[in-house]
Amino acid sequence: MKVGFIGFGNLGSAIVRRMASLGVEVIVYNRTKSKVKDFKAVDHPYDLLEEVDIVFINVFDSFASREVVFGENGLVKGNLKDKTIVDTTTNHYAYVKEAYETLKGLGAKYLDAPVLGSVIPATKGELIMLVGGDEDVFKSVEEVLKLFTKERMYLGPVPNGTYGKLINNIVLGAFMDAIAQAIGIGESVGLPKDTILKFLEIGAGNSYILNVKKQKLLQEDFSPQFSVKAIYKDLHYVQDLLKDFGLFSFSLGAVKETYGLAIKSNMEDLDFSAIYNLYKKNL
């Protein structure tokens, strides 16, 4: 099996290495070619279309996705007929709709397929994928998706995969903020951090996010798995969604700007659990 992959950041590289470990030949495009020296790499995104029928994309945001798809050296410069593009980026929903329609017009198939989870689940093949697009296209590539996901939820047409991911990240961002606040306040009144984490773990804080971030919080190791700037970007996309649908949220803006403050405090490239540092220093 041979696939193409665009993007070699924290998550993208973990997915690529996972597929390669299972015997898939992965041909990679990354802006910084030196980062992919362990894999066959191409000079331009469109070069992948000469080698493979399926191209995955995992880049930071919709600006980056637009560049590798529609830019000067993007996929549209190659022969897209009957190719399948699986974009696992957490995109802006409006861009995803545009990409689907435009690529369909060029003879390609497109799925918006963001994932829940970050580096560690990707390495273990335990990501959860939320898929929007034509169901027959999803089924045609599902065997490949199984290599790095433990569950794949088909949510309907584009951009439903993206809607699902953004809704998930409302909870993700708010819950991490609540955990960070709780630890900071608890320490301020004299409780040890390990004790706080212990009763949160068996009490109201019991959750997937606490389980996966517990050691980072204990050790204050904020090497990135999912960055502060990434959650800030995602919550910005959610705010656009609320505006377009005439919806409201009292808390979303406050949570988003907590991560904004972390960015202003030079934490943008750290794991998003690093917002604990805001509460540790300022309470």
The string of pLDDT tens digits covering residues 62-95 is 999 999 999 999 999 999 999 999 999 999 999 9
Tell me what pLDDT residue 33 has.
86
Which residue carries 């656009």 as its tokens? 240
Mean pLDDT of the region 142-152: 98
Long-range contacts for 15-24 (Cβ within 8 Å, ≥24 apart)?
15/56, 15/58, 15/88, 15/122, 15/127, 15/148, 17/123, 18/122, 18/123, 18/124, 18/125, 18/147, 18/148, 19/144, 19/147, 19/148, 22/147, 24/144, 24/147
Q: Which residues contact 274 (CB under 8 A, 6 or more apart)?
A: 222, 228, 262, 267
**In the predicted structure, residue 280 carries a pLDDT above the cut 90:** no
**Phi then psi dihedrals of residue 154, to 5 deg:** -85, 120
Find out if CATH 1.10.1040.10 is the number for domain 166-282: yes
Token pair belonging to 195: 């004790």
**In the predicted structure, residue 134 carries a pLDDT above the cut 90:** yes
Q: Which residues contact 245 (CB under 8 A, 6 or more apart)?
A: none
Helix (H) or strand (E) holding 213: helix 208-219
Give the closest residue to 13 by CA, choosing from 43, 56, 51: 56
Tell me what pLDDT residue 10 has.
93
The 10s digit of each residue's pLDDT in 170-203 is: 999 999 999 999 999 999 999 999 999 999 999 9
**In the predicted structure, residue 279 carries a pLDDT above the cut 70:** yes
The 10s digit of each residue's pLDDT in 97-127 is: 999 999 999 999 999 999 999 999 999 999 9
Q: Which residues contact 205 (CB under 8 A, 6 or more apart)?
A: 178, 179, 182
Tell me what pLDDT residue 282 has.
66
**In the predicted structure, residue 281 carries a pLDDT above the cut 70:** no
Mean pLDDT of the region 9-23: 97
Distance CA 80, CA 70 (A): 12
CATH 1.10.1040.10 domain extents, the chain: 166-282
Share of the chain above pLDDT 70, in %: 99
**In the predicted structure, residue 34 carries a pLDDT above the cut 90:** no
Q: Tell me, what DSSP letter sits at residue 7?
A: -
The 10s digit of each residue's pLDDT in 190-238 is: 999 999 999 999 999 999 999 999 999 999 999 999 999 999 999 999 9
Token pair belonging to 84: 């399948």
DSSP codes joined into one string, 147-158: TTEEEEEEEEST
Superfamily of domain 2-158: NAD(P)-binding Rossmann-like Domain (3.40.50.720)
Q: Are strands 54-57 and 2-6 parallel, antiparallel or unpaired?
A: parallel
pTM: predicted TM-score of the whole model, two decimal places: 0.95
CATH 3.40.50.720 domain extents, the chain: 2-158
Give the closest residue to 86 by CA, choosing from 156, 3, 2, 166: 3
Mean pLDDT of the chain: 97
